[in-house]
Structure 1
Amino acid sequence: MSRSFIIDGSIIYTNYSQIIGQSKFEELLREFVDILKEKQSPLLNALNAFKVNSDYDVHRFTEYLHLLTMRNIKEIGNIIYYVNPKDLERFIEAFYTFWRSKHRFMVRNEKYAEDYNRRASIEYTVTMIGDQFKATIKNLYRELMMNVSNTFPTVMRQLPSGAQVMFLIQEPNGEKYRKNEWVTKIPTVWGAIFDPPAIFYTKSNKRRGILPVVEKDILSEIALDPNEWYRFAIYVGDLLMYNFVHVEYLAHGAGLANLFELATPKDLESREPDGILIFGLPADKIPGYNEKWRNGVIFKEEDGYTGVIPAFDENDYFGYMKKTTLTIHNLIKIDRGKLPIHGSMARITLKSGKSVVAMFVGDSGAGKSETLDALNRLEEVAQIDTIIDDMGSLDIIDGHVVAFGTETGAFVRLDDLPPGFAYSTMDRSIFMNPDQINARVIVPFNNYNEVITPTHIDFFLYANNYTEVHNDEERIVFFKNPNEALKVFSEGKRMSKGTTSETGLTNSYFANPFGAIQRKEEHHRIAEHFIKKMFETGVKIGEIRTMLGVQGYEKEGTMLAARALLKVIEQI
């Protein structure tokens, strides 16, 4: 049973026959009937007239539904076996719900156009096709229900029933990368159109373990089927990544499009990828598979890094997609002598005119994003411009430490944010498991050019979510020397918030299990150099106590920390 449903974007849907007449419709109906049979559901009573031995003639039932789009159930009673209207009404309602539970994607093969006007025209056409499909599906449902029940509803609900995301794809052609032939055959996603709110339910909602790095060339031993895989070429900071996503996990591909900058087919003609990720590869297709790689592995090849996430239900979580991508980014940065940072960074502008750039370092659930959100709600703050939400890197330019971001969006944990936040972003967000612990939303927040522009930082703060404090003087403390700072950042203490499989007070080297721990020795040398440089150039390095992991302060703690930081900024 496939969770993802691919809709042909080359068809303009204008009548019910285009829907019911497709083999995919009958396959979907067959799948639904099989599920009902397994459950021994009473909904199957609607199909008694089509029962053949212990099974049901789904093809004939499909033809019956087709006839029902044109005639009232009473009018066709003398043409076909008697069907109970009440039973059929309940069946159609359940089938419609089943359809809407699918991850629905429309895919249109269209050559990328460099001309802006031509590209806008293509996207408009796809949007129109998507709207037509959605309208046809809703009208089909209503027509069937009306012809079965002989009534028309007084209240109509425009339930989301069309494609949640529309992808524009192109067959690879003329790109610079030529090392592995299969790579050049996978269709490339160059555009995406969302129909919000896009809500996806995945089989897991937390990460486990640390990604091992193995020295092994594996790309030449892998061959992906172009009929089952899509390539998302994305910019992660200034690095180019090829993320290959199996159709079953296409919801995570949609997440990539909302979180990173998509590269264009034109971009691929002039440069090769810095890293590659394959998401959803069966374990038996991974060369030399080791059970230690169950939650993901990164291979260091002769000329780069390749990450692989095996196709297990426990890995069906966008955090694996995002964090593996960022781990590859961080490994490359360490190799190049840069310092990857697991944290958030924003330009904070007060109504008084003062403006500073603060970077918060911390692992998942430490309170980085939550503190920025709290700052944004303070009356004295004019504006918060988020530059880095989760991962970035530091470099030294003209003797000063500068920061670069990686993502144009945020993968935000909703549990610790104000309830209204989810509703304020519904029109541009992807929601993942919104009714579960560690519910997440993927929301864009910045443009790519600003993310990759080098930014000078004024505050470099470790986000401590576990220490309980009772006055503003203790909420932010500054380190006296590089060694003191290096000790706290290296310990990486954090109270777990349920975002991973960890519980209680944990340690994570430099709060960064995404590359730093795998290259600890090299990372430590680089970190020591950068922290010393920050002390030399006047960057304020310290610790901010968010209390996000302290019982009773989950909501209030980040607001208290934000107010304490505001005081510090005002005193500059």
Structure 2
Amino acid sequence: MTKNVQPVTSGALYLNQDRKVAVLDYNENYIKNIFELINSDELKSVVNQFLNSRNQFERKSRFDETDVDTYLETLKAIVLDQDNAFAKFDRADILASIEDLYSFYRSFLRVSTINLHSNNVVASGFMDIDNRFNELVIDLYRTIEEKLQGHANKTYRQVNAGTNACVLTQTIDWPAPAGYEKLKTVRFLDTLMLRPPMMMHTKSNKREGVFSAVENNPITKFDGSREEWYCFPAKIGESIAYIYFHRDYFVSGLSLANLFEVADCKKVEGQKPDLILLFGLQETEDGVSHYYHDEANDIWVGEVPYNDKTTYFGYMKKMCLTLHNLHMIDKGNLPIHGSMVRISFSNDKNKTVVFFGDSGAGKSESIEALQEIADDKIISMETIFDDMGSFTLTDEGAGLYAQGTETGAFVRLDDLSSAVAFNNMDRGVYLNPELSNARVIIPANAFERVVEHHEIDMWVYANNYSDEIGLHRFDDKDEAKETFISGKRRALGTTDEVGMTTTFFANPFGPVQEEAKTRPIIDNVFDKLYANDTYVGEIYTHLGNDKSKSSLNESAQELLNVLMNS
């Protein structure tokens, strides 16, 4: 790819070759047939970008060296079966170039947008509108391909030729406090249609550092336009979040749909959000990510700068969760960095287990190992949350309940069992699948079930550094508390950390930032758990020492025995 290529807007198409993002606005122009397509400014822009990118290759056909007008006129002559179609260029060279052009366009994340304008006809048929455009693009490609070949294809592959996704947008009215008015023109994502499995690529594949507080509200730095910015309204646990992102971050913006519940625009209209994230600001303090608590309006505001590092989805996900967790701490709830599952056993017992630990400790891996070794002893295993939840003290029932934040899971491909990976392949959003720390985002559970109040039967710390195998119950509350608070683990390359690390309460997304407020909540939670005789312990995952998973499976076997016999 040519370096330092500036984004271009042509007709209804926005194209950023550096970020590999293309946005097509159907409200600006909707192309209805192959003749409109081949004569469109949008296709001309794509061809121009393609030919410019070919300039860096030493070996290319003569057809790649022509200008954009000659290129398109040749394609028109082929489509119309004109006698002069091959007067200047060899048929094989044209075919090779067309194949490369087709691959070039499909290498982008291609998103189409339709603004509703309260149009119920568009709302009910937006997927058909986008499907017709996809059929149109593949029809033009196949028409040219088969005319160049001189025969019809014998195998047809129904790929996503036009777009990967289509989103309905809507401008909604919400009570923006003073200083936030500029956000009101930004369109909300009302409904999304994804075409999974989606393979997307970003310039960064790892998150660095932690988010810190700033003294000034980031909203003062926002000067984004309606054309460049979008808002994903999300339900994160019981928090309402307005996640504003620059269109160059559509990879992350779309990925949110597999992770968080999309808030109904009609229901959030007229509501002030609990959280606001500004993702892709040109200017932030120190060029890194921060948050601010607007106490006057009780809004947690996050800022993430526009740069190559923040293209990694972990920045968007973790800032959303940091804001939510800070909101929870402020309400007296305890954010939990962990996974929770509801397990039904063949002996008619049901157990709710929370696995706790920082990134790479082995939370999700312990669950998968438990599934692998259980055979027919486990009837079903329901994921309540995969990465972040919260504990709430209450005067009802057991006096403590847990609930989740996400409806999906953001997991490392390296750590997925083949069964889990292939069973969810057709619904996944894959990020940089060819690289280390490759990730997939898959739906996990319904929002209503995630935020339900769940009682806890077991809470275990995922210990990835010890040489021991199995499960250990903490009889001493203070020893347990110290283990959970110290947040010790061996880093596995999911962040910029290396070697042995410690993180307060294994959670750099809220508790680290507000340790003083979090400590008394931790004390109260542990008091309640031990008063209820809840199992509090640690499972030895061995991920920092033994990559074979045999040791983890042994630990999972002991966990299975304890759960079934207690």
Give the TM-score normalised by the residue count of structure 1.
Answer: 0.91
Aligned identity (percent) is 33
- 542, 552, 567: which is aligned to 2:561? 567
Mapping for residues 206-355 of structure 1, pairs under 5 Å: 206-283=206-283, 286=284, 289-291=285-287, 293=288, 296-302=289-295, 303=297, 304-355=299-350
Deviation at 1:439, TM superposition (A): 1.0
Cross-structure match for 1:68? 78
Give me the whole-angstrom Cα distance separating, in 2, the residues matched to 1:320 and 1:182.
24
SS at match of 2:414: coil
Following superposition, the deviation at residue 389 of structure 1 comes to 0.7
CA distance in 2, matches of 1:158, 1:546: 42
Q: Does 1:34 align with 2:52?
A: yes
Whole-Å separation in 1 of the counterparts to 2:503 and 2:118: 43
Match of 1:529 in 2: 524
After the TM superposition, which residues 197-212 of structure 1 pair with which residues of structure 2 at under 5 Å, given as runs? 197-212=197-212
User: Are the aligned partners of 1:489 and 1:510 in contact in 2 as well (CA < 8 Å)?
Assistant: yes
Give the drift of 1:419. Answer: 2.6
Q: Which residue of 1 aligns with 2:62?
A: 45
- Letter in structure 2 aligned against 1:369: S
Q: What SS is found at the alignment partner of 2:459? A: strand
What secondary structure, in the 3-state scheme, does the structure 2 residue paired with 1:334 have?
Answer: helix
Instruction: Flag the 1:557–1:281 CA change in 2: closer, same or farther, 3 A.
Output: farther
AA paired with 1:343?
A: G
Per the alignment, do residues 257 and 515 of structure 1 end up closer, same or farther by CA in structure 2, a change over 3 Å counting? same
SS at structure 1 position matched to 2:337: strand
SS at structure 2 position matched to 1:415: helix
Is 2:51–2:64's contact at 8 Å kept on the other side of the alignment? Answer: no
Identify which of 366, 385, 388 aligns with 1:388: 385
Aligned twin of 1:16? 34
| 3-state DSSP of counterpart to 2:54 | helix
What whole-Å deviation, never above 9, does each CA across 1:430-471 have from its counterpart, x for those lacking one?
Answer: 11111111111111111111111111101111111111224x
CA distance in 1, matches of 2:221, 2:23: 28
Q: Distance in 1 between matches of 2:26 and 2:195?
A: 15
Superposition deviation, residue 225 in structure 1? 0.8
Offset of residue 197 of structure 1: 1.1
- The structure-2 alpha-carbon separation of the partners of 1:68 and 1:281, relative to structure 1 and needing over 3 Å to count, comes to farther
State the Cα deviation string for residues 263-304 of structure 1 (Å, max 9, x = none): 122122242111111112223xx3xx324x2xx211233332
Is residue 337–residue 389 contact of structure 2 (8 Å, CA) maintained in 1? yes
State the Cα distance separating 1:13 from its structure 2 match: 5.0
Paired residue type of 1:290: D
**Quick check: 416-425 or 400-409, which moved more?**
416-425
Indicate the SS of the match to 1:524: helix
Aligned to 1:181: 181
Residue of structure 2 in register with 1:133 after alignment: 133
Pairwise mapping of residues 478-493 of structure 1 onto structure 2 (< 5 A)?
478-493=473-488
- The answer to whether the 8 A contact 1:13-1:129 is kept is no
TM superposition shift of 1:178: 4.4
Letter in 2 for 1:253: G
Matching residue within 550, 557, 563 for 1:556: 550
**Do the aligned residues in 2 keep the contact of 1:9 with 1:129 (CA within 8 Å)?**
no
How far the C-alpha of 1:391 sits from its partner, in A, is: 0.4
CA distance in 1, matches of 2:41, 2:133: 16
Deviation at 1:141, TM superposition (A): 1.1
Q: Give the CA deviation at 1:12.
A: 6.1
Equivalent residue, structure 2, for 1:358: 353
What one-letter code is carried by the residue in structure 1 that aligns with 2:73? E
> Residues 110 and 557 from structure 1, CA distance in 2 versus in 1: closer, same or farther, beyond 3 angstroms?
farther
Matches within 5 A, 1:51-130: 56=67, 58-71=68-81, 75-77=83-85, 82-111=88-117, 122=122, 125-130=125-130
1:452 aligned partner, one-letter code: V
Partner of 1:4: 21
- Do the aligned partners of 1:216 and 1:301 also contact (CA within 8 Å) in 2? no
Number of the residue aligned with 2:451: 452
Residues 1:298 and 1:5: Cα distance change in structure 2 (over 3 Å): same
Query: Aligned partners of 1:480 and 1:255: how far apart in 2?
Result: 42
Q: How far did 1:571 drift?
A: 1.7
d(CA) in 2 for partners of 1:266, 1:552: 48
Please tell me whether the aligned partners of residues 13 and 132 of structure 1 are also in contact (alpha carbons under 8 angstroms).
no
AA in 1 matched with 2:358:
D
Q: 1:182 to 1:485 in 2, by over 3 A?
A: same
> Cα distance, 1:34 vs. partner?
1.1
Paired residues of 1:388 and 1:407 also in contact (CA < 8 A): yes
After superposition, the Cα gap between the structure-2 partners of 1:177 and 1:268, relative to the gap in structure 1 and judged at 3 Å, is: farther
**Contact 2:63–2:71 at 8 Å: present in 1 too?**
no
SS at match of 1:383: strand
What is the DSSP-based 3-state SS (H/G/I as helix, E as strand, rest coil) of the residue aligned with 1:467?
coil
Q: Which residue number in structure 2 is paired with residue 53 of structure 1?
A: none
1:368 — aligned with what? 363
Per-residue displacement from partner, 1:99-151 (whole Å, max 9, x unpaired)?
110001111111468xxxx6xx7555122122222221112111112222323
**Separation (CA, whole Å) in 2 of partners of 1:521 and 1:513:** 14
2: distance between equivalents of 1:41 and 1:129?
41
**2:77 aligned partner, one-letter code:** L
Q: Structure 1: which 5+ residue stretches go unaligned?
A: 51-55
Compute the displacement of 1:227 (Å).
Answer: 0.2
SS at match of 1:538: coil
Distance 1:429 1:267, change over 3 A: same
Deviation at 1:47, TM superposition (A): 4.2
Q: How does 1:492-531 map to 2 (within 5 A)?
A: 492-531=487-526
- CA drift of 1:167 comes to 0.5
| Range 300-309 or range 411-420, more displaced | 300-309
Which secondary structure state, in structure 2, belongs to the residue aligned with residue 480 of structure 1? coil
The SS at the match of 1:76 is helix
Number of aligned residue pairs: 541
Contact 1:410 1:442 in 2 (8 A): yes
SS class of match (1:456): coil
- Could you report, residue by residue, the CA deviation over 1:55-74 in whole angstroms, capped at 9, with x for unpaired residues? x3x134223323322216xx
CA–CA separation in structure 2 for the residues paired with 1:485 and 1:271: 41
In 1: Cα distance, 2:485 partner to 2:114 partner: 48
Q: Shift of the alpha carbon at 1:310? A: 0.9
- The CA RMSD measured in Å over matched residues stands at 1.9
Question: Is contact 1:481-1:535 (8 Å) kept?
Answer: no
Which ranges in structure 2 are unaligned for 5 or more consecutive residues?
1-6, 8-15
Are 2:544 and 1:544 equivalent residues in the alignment?
no
Say whether the 8 Å CA contact 1:326–1:514 is kept in structure 2.
Answer: yes
Shift of 1:157: 2.7
Contact 2:221-2:281 within 8 A present in 1 as well: no
Query: Contact 1:177–1:273 at 8 Å: present in 2 too?
Result: no
Secondary structure of the residue that 1:97 maps to in structure 2? helix
C-alpha distance in 2 between matches for 1:477 and 1:356 = 18
Give the letter for the 1:69 counterpart.
Answer: V
Provide closer, same or farther for how the CA distance between residues 112 and 423 of structure 1 changes in structure 2, counting only shifts above 3 A. Answer: farther
Equivalent AA in structure 2 for residue 95 of structure 1 = L
Residue 142 of structure 1 corresponds to which residue in structure 2?
142
Q: Is the 8 A contact 1:392 1:405 kept in 2?
A: yes
Change over 3 Å in CA distance of 1:422–1:112 after alignment to 2: farther
Q: Check the 8 A contact 2:218/2:303 in 1, yes or no.
A: no
Once the 2 structures are TM-superposed, how far is the Cα of residue 14 of structure 1 from its aligned partner? 4.3
Secondary structure at the residue paired with 1:298? strand
